[in-house]
Chain A
Amino acid sequence: MIPEIGQFSLILALTLAFALGTLPLIGAARGVPEWMALARPAAQGQFVFVAIAFGCLAWSFASSDFSVLNVASNSNSSLPLPYRIAATWGSHEGSMLLWVLMLAAWTVAVSVFSRGLPDEMVARVLGVMGLISTGFLLFMLLTSNPFERLLPPAPDGRDLNPLLQDPGMVIHPPMLYMGYVGFSVAFSFAIAALLGGKLDATWARWSRPWTTLAWCFLTCGIALGSWWAYYELGWGGWWFWDPVENASFMPWLLGTALIHSLAVTEKRGAFRSWTVLLAILAFSMSLLGTFLVRSGVLTSVHAFATDPKRGIFILGFLALVIGGSLALFAWRAPRVGLGGAFEVVSRESFLLANNVLLVVAAGAVLLGTLYPLVLDALNLGKISVGPPYFEAVFVPLMALAVFLMGIGPLARWKEASLPELAVRLRWALAVSVVTALIVPAVTGKWSPLVSFGLLLAFWVAATAVLNLRARIGGGGTLITRLRAQPRSYYGMVVAHCGVAVFITGVTLVKGYEVERDLRMAPGDTATVSGYVFRFDGTREVMGPNYRAAQGTVKVSREGGGEVTTLHPEKRVYLVQQNAMTEAAITSSPLRDLYVSLGEPVDGGAWSVRIYYKPFIVWIWGGCAIMALGGLLALSDRRYRGARRREPVPQAAAATRQAAA
């Protein structure tokens, strides 16, 4: 019964999405207020029905209803409840339903938090989101129905892939999808602006908080994925430039470019057509990512089971949505005009340069990801593009961008002076260089890459301090001066510092990590980087749906002093019979100690891998700080008050456009 309710809800949602995607848009074009007014209720109705459908699927999983094919393929009665619920989105069909749920949620959020927007704009934005929703709902109902029945029902399910039976994996997809899908809001605002022909600073001010929020979610989602891979996969890696990882990284890069570009469009009315293009491209990358993961075009550990029919549908959908938007862009954007004037050296041009670097970086990642396909399609042989390529290409670009990140905030809008900037920055540069050279020397192992990485990190930190000092100059106590700065400023500072923390983590881990591959018999010890690891053998333990050989490793400091006891496991999940490693990690802000079991060898001994990873939590900590900066920025007063503010008077807007 419940799966049928779910399926029916989806059909209802589809009708509402279709209504949402057509009537308000026609209404806005023709000036029919009643049709435009349909947008909000349709959006809210759509959300209700998608939520019901999602609830039905989650219920089917929670109650282990094996007459539903999706449940039988991805769950099991001995799977613990939290993972049974997470299995709702552990498959292609379920994750598509999650996608659609997120889209419906963002749509309803826009419908609620848009009171101050003109009706036409609301109708258009919600209409475009409705069109996207229609496409995905159609895709689900036609090719990937999560409610397909399995009759007669299976006696038990095939179990969720053991790699997914983990808290990190439970929260990573929802976060990621909130980000991916969130860029559809910026996209819809862009399309609405192109359709309406009005591309002014108001549009940018409306788009910005939505884009920043989506960006925050995406940052968290990617960071969670990386952290999960680190502790779950058992060999200490945290980023593999895997096609699906790249598919989430490209929207992030473009999204970062977009939030910077929106800043300029909002404040100075410049870059308008470029910002619109970025908004279209960022969401296009999200859609492209969806295609790459589900079509079987690229190999990846993340890829869902593939079906050519699905690939064709998504590609067609992609072609329609992105092709249509880019065509609309080509048609409408030339009329937009240049916007505010600025000099060759100014904050605007630094931000433009940042944009160029981020977009080129995204392009490089796309090139590397798709290049094997290009060669294969042209019958020029088969190659594989791995991390060495991406690192060689990505790091220099980002190094440049980070360098500019220090200068940009200090440059004045409209016109800045290079000599003046150089004078102000020379101390920051000096401090960075000196610290970057000293720190590695102190730790005993100097390498140019470590110094360079630290140089960049200190540069960001030093320039942030410099910037803060310059801004809070003036009368009044320190506290009042600090309070006077807008939250969006602090958001920027915090987010940039997050980048510095991230770079520090990456540099120090790559420069100083130690890996030892050992054979350990019970009682053996190993000394790695000042820590002593004693292997005390293994014993059999039973988990809820697995059997494991659990090792005991006592960790202590070389000079004496207990640290902790670790229990790495080698699990065999009973249903799918896969062997899996659960690494044991002890974390601290300064270092991670990571132990994973390999294979048992003769005489009760095991091959064991021990890793010393210094400062590795700074990687994900840096990402969290970046996201925090984003949240700070979007809680700025001007967005909270925006609802109450009247729309910009027409005359002023017209003057601004004429003077541009």
Chain B
Amino acid sequence: MRYLVPLAVFVLLVALLAVGLTLNPREVPSPLIDRPAPAFNLPQLHKPDLAFSTKDMQGQVWLLNVWASWCAACRDEHPLLVELAKQRTVPVIGLNYKDQPDAGKAWLKQFGDPYVLSVADAAGRVGIDYGVYGVPETFVIDRQGVIRYKQIGPVTVRSLDEKILPLVRTLQKQ
């Protein structure tokens, strides 16, 4: 009977590895889900004399999109964001992460500006507060200012249709 132990352990191992094939080991889930979005107050990218604070979005459902002009993957998701902005479903605030303001502005001019406004996080502090480790990332924040979802990596058609937009609609009904 004990001779079956190695086989039994192995069967469990194979089951584990099979499940493992469906997971992504590089993805680090955010501990900030269902927690209040860290407050910040940053100068706007296009109007540096004006500030924007998370409090300004209180009462609305909104998306915070972390982007940068040096980020290659941001270019992949950008058309989707521009399209989303045209449909006016949900306001998107851009967080220009560790970037040169001129480069950032030029990039938006070239590829389109889907953002209600962008804020400049030159030092990356706000990014750290939000647990940003790879650009782009997108946060869905509800009316009470609580983070409900974090999209790691570029927004895709699939993630928009299956996760982000349904969630936004649910939150907007609240």
Q: Which A residues have a C-beta under 8 Å from some C-beta of B?
A: 273, 277, 280-281, 284, 291, 295-299, 308, 311-312, 315, 318-319, 322-323, 326-327, 329-330, 333-334, 370, 372-374, 376-377, 381-382
Which residues of B sit under 8 angstroms from A312, Cβ to Cβ?
Answer: 21
Most A-side CB within 10 Å, residue of B4, B10, B20: B20
Q: A297-B25, A298-B25, A373-B25 are in contact. Are A323 and B7 (CB under 8 A)?
A: yes
Chain B, interface SS category: helix
On whether A318 and B25 interact (CB within 8 A), knowing A323-B7, A330-B7, A377-B19, the answer reads: no
Residue of B nearest to A280 (CB): B6
Shortest C-beta distance, B150 to chain A (Å), equals: 13
Residue numbers of B with Cβ under 8 A of A are 3-4, 6-7, 10-11, 13-14, 16-21, 23, 25-29
CB <8 Å contact, B21 and A311: yes
Whether the pair A373, B16 counts as a contact (CB closer than 8 A) is yes
Complex formed: what's the CA distance from A333 to B2 in Å? 11
Contact A315 B6 (CB under 8 A): no
Chain A residues, CB < 8 A from B23: 297, 373, 376-377
Q: Please state if A326 and B7 are interface contacts (CB–CB under 8 Å).
A: yes
Chain B proximity of A286: nearest CB distance (Å): 15
CA distance A33 to B10 in the complex (A): 36
**Could you tell me if A281 and B6 are in contact, using CB atoms closer than 8 angstroms?**
yes
Determine if A373 and B10 form an interchain contact, defined as CB atoms under 8 angstroms apart.
Answer: no
CB of A303 to closest CB in B, whole Å: 9
Name A323's closest neighbour in chain B (CB-CB).
Answer: B10
Residue in B closest to A381 when the chains form the complex, CB atoms: B29
**Distance (Å) between the CB of A328 and the closest chain B CB?**
10
Q: In the complex, are the beta carbons of A377 and B14 less than 8 A apart?
A: no
Given contacts A299-B26, A326-B10, contact A377 B3 (CB under 8 A): no
Closest to A324 in B: B7
Verify B3–A330 contact, CB threshold 8 A. Answer: yes
Residue of A nearest to B6 (CB): A326
- Across the two chains, which residue of chain A brings its CB closest to B23? A376
Task: Give Cα A31 to B14, complex, Å.
Answer: 35
Q: Which residues of A contact B26 (CB under 8 A)?
A: 299
Nearest residue, chain A, Cβ from B27:
A382
Residue in A closest to B3 when the chains form the complex, CB atoms: A330
* A298 to B21 alpha-carbon distance, docked (Å): 9
Residues of A within 8 A of B7 (CB): 323, 326-327, 329-330
Pairwise interchain contact B10-A377, C-beta atoms closer than 8 A:
no
The answer for the CA separation of A414 and B3 in the assembled complex, in Å, is 26
Closest to A319 in B: B14
Nearest chain A residue, comparing its CB with the CB of B5 = A330
User: Which 10 A-B residue pairings sit nearest by Cβ, starting from the closest?
Assistant: A326-B7, A297-B20, A377-B19, A330-B3, A299-B25, A330-B4, A311-B21, A373-B20, A326-B6, A319-B14
Question: In the complex the two chains form, what is the Cα distance from A277 to B4 in whole Å?
Answer: 11
- Chain A residue contacts of B27, Cβ below 8 A: 382
Of B3, B11, B16, which is within 8 A of A370 by CB? B16
CB distance from B152 to the nearest CB of A (A): 12
- Report the nearest B residue to A326, measured CB to CB: B7
Give the residue name and chain of the A residue nearest to B19 (CB).
A377
Please give me the residue from chain B that is nearest to A318 by CB atom. Answer: B14
- Show 24 A/B contacts (Cβ-Cβ < 8 Å), sorted by A: A273-B3, A280-B6, A281-B6, A295-B17, A297-B21, A297-B23, A298-B25, A299-B25, A311-B21, A315-B17, A318-B14, A323-B10, A323-B14, A326-B6, A327-B7, A329-B7, A330-B3, A330-B4, A330-B7, A374-B16, A376-B20, A376-B23, A376-B25, A377-B16
Collect the chain A residues with CB atoms within 8 Å of residue B13's CB.
Answer: 370
B-chain residues with CB within 8 Å of residue A373 when the two chains form the complex: 16-17, 20, 23, 25
Residues of A within 8 A of B10 (CB): 284, 322-323, 326
B9 to chain A, nearest CB (A): 9
Chain A residues with CB below 8 A from B11, complex form: 323
Provide the bound-state CA to CA distance between A334 and B3, in Å. Answer: 7
Q: Which residues of B contact A322 (CB under 8 A)?
A: 10
Chain B residues in 8 Å Cβ range of A295: 17, 20-21
Which of B11, B14, B17, B28 counts the most chain A CB atoms within 10 A? Answer: B17
**B17's closest neighbor in chain A, by CB?**
A315
**Which chain A positions have C-beta within 8 A of B17?**
291, 295, 297, 315, 318, 373
What is the CA–CA distance of A376 and B16 in the complex, to the nearest angstrom? Answer: 10
Q: Is the CB of A315 within 8 A of B25?
A: no
Tell me the nearest residue of chain B to A332, going by C-beta. Answer: B3
A469 CB to nearest B CB, Å: 42
Bound-state CA distance A370–B13 (Å) is 9
Q: Cβ of A273: which chain B residues have Cβ within 8 Å of it? A: 3
Q: Are A315 and B14 in contact, with the CB atoms below 8 A? A: yes
Known A373-B16, A373-B20; contact A296-B25, beta-carbon cutoff 8 A: yes
A280→B7 CA distance, assembly (Å): 11
Which residues of the other chain, B, contact A299 by a CB distance below 8 angstroms? 25-26
Alpha-carbon gap, A280 to B10, bound state (A)? 12
